Structure formats: structure tokens, C-alpha cells
Amino acid sequence: MRQQAKAFVRLTVAMLIVGTWACSTPAPSGPLGTATTVEGSRSPTSSPNGSPTTGDDDAPDDDAPDDEESESVTPSADSVPEPPESTPLPTVATDFLSNDPPWTLKATAPNSVHFGIPHAMADDDVVATLTFAGQPAFSNGDAVGPAHAVQIATSNTFGYGTYRARLRPAACAPDEEVVNGIFVYANDGATDANQNGMIDNNEIDIEILCGEPDILYLSLWTDYTDDDHFRKKTRAIDIVTGAFYETEPGKEGQYGLSGTAGGIIPAAKSPGMDLTAQFLELGFTWTASAVRFFLMLEDEEITLWHFTDPAYIPVPDVAFIFNVWHTNAHWWAGGAADYPAKNGMMLIDWFQYWTATTPSAKALQHLLDPGGNGHGGDD
Ligand SMILES: [Ca+2]
Ligand SMILES: [Ca+2]
């Protein structure tokens, strides 16, 4: 029933929002921190993304009429039924039946992007595909970084709210590597509004590497001038054990993470899980004071990171982006990673965005801190 309800919501919204994403600046294909010089182990670079809860139990209730005080506002018998409060309509949504509303594409042959591709595992049997073409003749140092990504980015920009997507990341051999990026991003190459001497880079990343498909990288960026001048916080989660590793305090200008686990998220522990072997539903809720990343596991929304230091939280507006690109190093184990010999493909079933004002700020706070659901998290 839940899947049916969600499918209905998405179709409805898709019709309502046709015509949005029309203008505005496409995001530069993410500088998700060019991972060219990753040294040592656990040196995640950048990038990622998010979304709202359509969770059955997370319904905001602040809009419910107060029967005791508002008898005069009884709805008329013929009023249009409201959707269940537990599934507020997304502000923007797409099922990828076609490129409408239009995404900004980046795909240099032989890489390619296609919409409306049948796939039995999609909620609506249709996906968009980002094909990262295998190049047997290429090696480790060829076509490295986001500049060579196959990518789709929203043509409009967005702000605080919840971002949610369902996709299957591109896979590859263990000695190869590409980054699957699901993220929001903005960097105009000049602005330093926060006046810290570095170019502002507002970015929230979820990243999965095909060669190490048991690790999920979550990052928050506020600045990026170059690989020696940036500011970010990262949490890497070993989905098999549930253990997480973070940027050490004071090392926000470096790629390395602590070699010691900061803790374990019991609800995220998924023995044997390969993040590239199935569709994932994930995302984040973003406000000025907190970011909560989540992943659906067995129909439960698991909190992966509830970050609450405003000093490291980026600011709007940003584009939402899906991309796939080659990194020349394994971020977790370290060491050189080959360019994929065979095609890798990210399959994207749907994307949804709820602005911070819909549902209300109070409801958004509820999404940030569902409370009492026993989900992981740690803070
Ligand atoms: Ca700055
Ligand atoms: Ca779809």
C-alpha cells in the first residue's frame, strides 16, 4: 500500500510541476574535490544529496485543524480531499519517463544519458540511465575527476528542504573505480561570502565508489578553492558493520578521515550488503542548523548522520546532481584504481524535493528529528 500511495503522489506532482526547472544556471559539474592526489587510506573527497520523508510515521501534524477552536472552518462536503498528511506532496518530482522537466546533461561520447528506459526493478518500471563507458585501453591516470563525468543536473536551483532519490549505482571490478555522486552543489569560482579567504562551495554529498561498494561517504562542504584550500566535514560509513569514521576536528581542510571508528550505527549494519547491487532510496533533510542523511533499509528510514554544527553547513541555492566519474584511487583502502574496462551504469528511478516551507518549518524539524523511532544516528 505504501508503494502505491507514493507512486500516486509522484505522478500527480509530476504533472503539476511540468515547466519548472526551466531556467537558471546549471551547476558546474562538480568539483567534488578532484580526488587526484588521494594519499593513504580513507581519503574521501567530496560530493552528494538528499530528501523528504514520505515515511508513514513521520507525518507532520501541525496543519491539522483544531476541532475545539475552529468549528467555523469545517470543510464543505464537496471540497477536494487532501492527501494524507503523512505524504506531503513534493515541491518538485520526476519519475524519469522523459527529460521533462528538463535536466542539464553532461555526456561526452562514448558516455551517454537516456530517459524513459524500461527496468523491472523501478517503482514505475522506467528509469534514466547514466552510462559511464568502459575504456579497456585507458589506465589509472586517464580522464580522472568530475570534469569527465557523465551527469544530469537540475536546470533550476533549490534551497533548504528534503531531497530524496531512488537509484542503483554503477558497479565495476574491485581493482577499478568510479564515484557515484548524488549531491547538491554550487560554486561560482569567485564568491567568498563567508569571508574565510576561500571560494564558497556549497555542497552536500552522498558518494558510493564502485570498487569499494560497502562504504557510503557523506560530506558537507562550505568552501573549495583547490585541493589544498577547502573546508568540509565527511562521515564514511561501513554499511557491512555499521561503523563510521569522520573528519577529525581541526582537519576540515584535509581529505583524510580518522582511522578510528567514531561509533557504530546499529540500524545501518547490513552484513554482506553491496551498495551497487540493488536500488537504494536515500537522501537528506537540510536546514540552516542541521543536516540529516538517511537511507531506507528494509522499509525503515535509517538516520546515517544528524549533523548539527551550523559552522559547517552550506547555504542555498544549489543544483541537484547525479553523476559518475573516474577517480584514480580507492578512497577507503588506498592505492591506485584502474579505469573501468566495461560500461558502468547508474539507474535513476525517481527524484523528489520538498522545499523547507512545504511542509512547514515545524514539519521540517520533525523530519530532521523524527524522534522515538529507534533509528540509528548518534549525536
Ligand atoms: Ca569562503
Ligand atoms: Ca521511474
pLDDT in tens, 156-191: 999 999 999 999 999 999 999 999 999 999 999 999
Residue 219 banded pLDDT, cuts 50, 70, 90? very high
**From ligand 2's centre to the CA of 3, what distance in Å?**
13
- For residues 199 and 157, give the distance between their C-alpha atoms in angstroms, rounded to a whole number: 19
Lowest mean pLDDT among 75-79, 160-164, 236-240: 75-79
Quick one: pLDDT at residue 87? Answer: 63
Q: How far is the CA of 164 from the centre of ligand 2 (A)?
A: 13
Query: How many whole angstroms from 77 Cα to the centroid of ligand 2?
Result: 35
Give the whole-angstrom CA distance, residue 354 versus residue 86.
Answer: 13
Question: Can you tell me the distance from the alpha carbon of 102 to that of 104, in angstroms, rounded to the nearest whole number?
Answer: 7
Q: What is the pLDDT of residues 248-296, one digit of tens each?
A: 999 999 999 999 999 999 999 999 999 999 999 999 999 999 999 999 9
Looking at residue 356, its pLDDT comes to 84
Q: Identify the CATH number of the domain in which residue 204 sits.
A: 2.60.120.200
Select the more confidently predicted residue: 46 or 153.
153
Least distant ligand from the CA of 166: 2
Please tell me the distance between residue 185's alpha carbon and the centre of ligand 1 in angstroms.
14
Q: What pLDDT score does 86 carry?
A: 61
Which residues are registered as beta bridge partners of 286? 161, 291
Cα(347)–Cα(191) distance, integer angstroms: 34
What are the Cα distances from residue 296, in Å, to 46, 54, 198, 241? 22, 11, 36, 16
- With 0-12 CB in 10 A as exposed, 13-18 as middle and 19+ as buried, what is 268? buried
Structural domains counted in the chain: 1
**Ligand closest to the CA atom of residue 188:** 1
pLDDT in tens, 368-377: 554 433 333 3
What is the whole-number distance in angstroms between the Cα of residue 207 and the centre of ligand 1?
23
In a domain, 70, yes or no: no
**Alpha carbon distance 19, 343 (integer Å):** 33
Q: Does residue 73 form part of some domain?
A: no
pLDDT band of 3, cuts 50, 70, 90: very low
Mean pLDDT lowest among 37-46, 94-103, 165-174: 37-46
The mean pLDDT value for 192-215 works out to: 98
Q: Is residue 74 part of a domain?
A: no
Amino acid at 96: F
pLDDT band at 101, cuts 50/70/90? confident
Residue 32 predicted with pLDDT over 60: no
Distance 210 CA to ligand 1 centre (A): 32
Q: What's the CA-to-centroid distance between 329 and ligand 1, angstroms?
A: 28
Looking at all shown ligands, the one closest to residue 191's CA atom is: 1
CA of residue 256 relative to chain centroid, distance? 21
Question: Omega into 83 within 30° of 0, i.e. cis?
Answer: no
**pLDDT average, residue stretch 70-74:** 37
Q: How far apart are CA 355 and CA 364, in angstroms?
A: 9
SS3 45: coil
Helical ranges in 44-135 per DSSP H: none
For residue 290, give its domain range.
2-57+84-368
Least confident of 26-40, 190-204, 352-366: 26-40
CB within 8 A of 17, min separation 6: which ones?
A: 91, 92, 93, 101
Ligand 2 centroid vs 125 CA: distance in angstroms?
6
Q: What is the pLDDT of residues 312-365, one digit of tens each?
A: 999 999 999 999 999 999 999 999 999 999 999 999 999 999 998 644 444 455
Any idea which ligand is nearest the CA of 230? 1
* H/E run at residue 2: helix 2-16
Side chain identity, residue 179: V
Q: How many CB atoms lie within 10 A of CB 71?
A: 9
Give residue 95 CA to ligand 2 midpoint distance, Å: 4
How close is the Cα of 206 to the center of ligand 2, in Å?
20
Q: Mean pLDDT score of the chain, rounded to an integer?
A: 80
The answer to whether residue 156 is domain-embedded is yes
Considering every ligand atom, which ligand is closest to the CA of 11?
2
CA of 352 to the centre of ligand 2 (A): 11
- Separation of CA 255 and ligand 1 centre (Å): 18
Average pLDDT over every residue of 59-65: 36
Q: What average pLDDT score do residues 189-197 get?
A: 97
Q: Give the distance (Å) from ligand 2 centre to CA of residue 114.
A: 12
Helix or strand holding residue 363 (H, E): helix 361-368
In a domain, 373, yes or no: no
Percentage of the chain beyond pLDDT 90 is: 70
Query: How remote is the CA of residue 99 from the centroid of ligand 2, in Å?
Result: 11
Spatial separation of the C-alpha atoms in residues 160 and 59, rounded to whole Å:
19
- Kindly state whether residue 274 falls inside one of the protein's structural domains: yes
Residue 357 confidence (pLDDT): 62
C-alpha to C-alpha distance for 255 and 56, rounded to whole angstroms? 38
Q: For residues 45 and 36, what is the distance between their CA atoms, to the nearest angstrom?
A: 9
Residue 378 located in a structural domain: no
- C-beta atoms surrounding 212 within 10 Å: 19
Specify if 210 maps to a domain: yes
- What distance in angstroms lies between residue 132's CA and the mean position of ligand 2's atoms? 20
Residue 297 pLDDT class (50, 70, 90 cuts) = very high
The least confident of 20-24, 102-106, 207-211 is 20-24
List the grid coordinates of 78. 464537496
pLDDT of residue 66 exceeding 80, the answer is no
Sequence-distant (6+) residues with CB within 8 A of 16 are: 89
Beta bridge partners of 318: 158
